[in-house]
Every structure is written in structure tokens, then in C-alpha cells.
């Protein structure tokens, strides 16, 4: 026989604030965990919807500002970087969303993923000058998020 606990809010013993859930109370979330959508009409897989890796780095002086599931990075050349994951993805069919901080003036900045494997993604950053074309460029702020399934 299974049990079910239905509550609106979990609070601390004093009733003054949220309760802290800690080990061994909650140790992991199953990869089949679901949640009900905001409208209440559908359920979604919680784990599948999470970002699996992200990085924020300085491409000019080359250094990681902060990251999650990123084991290392390589500065291959001007505007060319490789992000290596700490934990591999199950396939190379993941999604990368990336952006940069605009360099200055009448320029636009572009970052694009160029090579995917289960262990890493390669990013290229470019500067586009109005009427003068594109050139590879290092940007002082680049960020990327990876969505997909972990191996």
C-alpha cells in the first residue's frame, strides 16, 4: 500500500518559515519526476527540463567567471573556445544557447556553437562591423547554456 501526503506548505516547527529539506530526507530526484504545468493541464519531466551545463567566461583575458558541469575550457585561438563538460551528455543532439556582451560602438557581437560531441561544445565569437564584414574576436563576456540529456 502506498502513502500520499498532500499539503499546501511545509514550514519549520515554529511555523515561521520554510522548512529546510536535507539529507537523508531528500537525497535525489528520480529522472522520471514530473510536475504539473502552471495551467494545470499537462505534466512535464522535471529532470529533462533542467539546464545540464552552463558557463560564463571572459574571452579577452580568458578565464571562467562561473560555471556548472564544466570541467575545463580551452582558448583555441582568437574567438574560438572549447567547453568540456564534467559529465558527458547522452548524445551530441543537445541544444546550446549562447550570447556575448557587445564590444562597442557600431558593432554587433555574435557567438555560435560550431562543433558538438557528447563531451564538449566549441564556440566561436565574432565582431560584425557595420559595412565592414565579420572578424573573429575575443569578447570580455561570453555565456552559454546546454540543454539535453546526461549520459
| Residue range 38-90, pLDDT digits in tens | 787 887 777 777 899 999 999 999 999 999 999 999 999 999 999 999 999 99
**DSSP summary character for residue 75:** E
pLDDT-derived band at 26 (thresholds 50, 70, 90) equals: low
d(CA 107, CA 14): 57
Q: What is the DSSP letter of 87?
A: S
Residue with cell 519526476: 33
Mean pLDDT of 118-125: 97
Q: pLDDT at position 113, please? A: 94
Q: How confident is the model at residue 31 (pLDDT cuts 50, 70, 90)?
A: confident
pTM (2 decimals)? 0.76
Tell me how far apart the alpha carbons of residues 119 and 99 are, in angstroms, rounded to a whole number. Answer: 21
What pLDDT was estimated at residue 16?
A: 67
- What mean pLDDT do residues 128-136 have? 81
Amino acid at each position: 500500500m502506498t502513502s500520499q501526503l498532500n499539503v499546501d506548505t511545509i514550514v519549520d516547527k515554529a511555523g515561521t518559515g520554510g522548512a529546510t529539506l536535507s539529507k537523508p530526507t531528500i537525497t535525489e530526484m528520480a529522472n522520471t519526476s514530473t510536475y504539473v504545468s502552471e495551467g494545470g493541464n499537462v505534466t512535464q519531466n522535471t529532470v529533462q527540463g533542467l539546464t545540464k551545463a552552463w558557463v560564463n567566461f571572459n574571452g579577452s583575458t580568458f578565464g571562467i567567471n562561473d560555471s556548472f558541469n564544466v570541467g575545463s575550457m580551452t582558448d583555441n585561438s582568437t574567438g574560438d573556445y572549447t567547453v568540456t563538460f564534467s559529465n558527458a551528455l547522452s548524445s551530441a543532439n543537445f541544444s546550446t544557447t549562447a550570447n556575448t556582451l557587445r564590444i562597442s560602438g557600431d558593432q554587433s557581437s555574435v557567438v555560435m556553437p560550431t562543433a558538438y560531441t557528447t563531451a564538449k561544445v566549441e564556440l566561436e565569437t565574432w565582431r560584425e562591423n557595420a559595412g565592414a564584414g565579420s572578424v573573429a574576436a575575443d569578447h570580455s563576456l561570453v555565456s552559454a547554456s546546454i540543454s539535453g540529456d546526461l549520459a
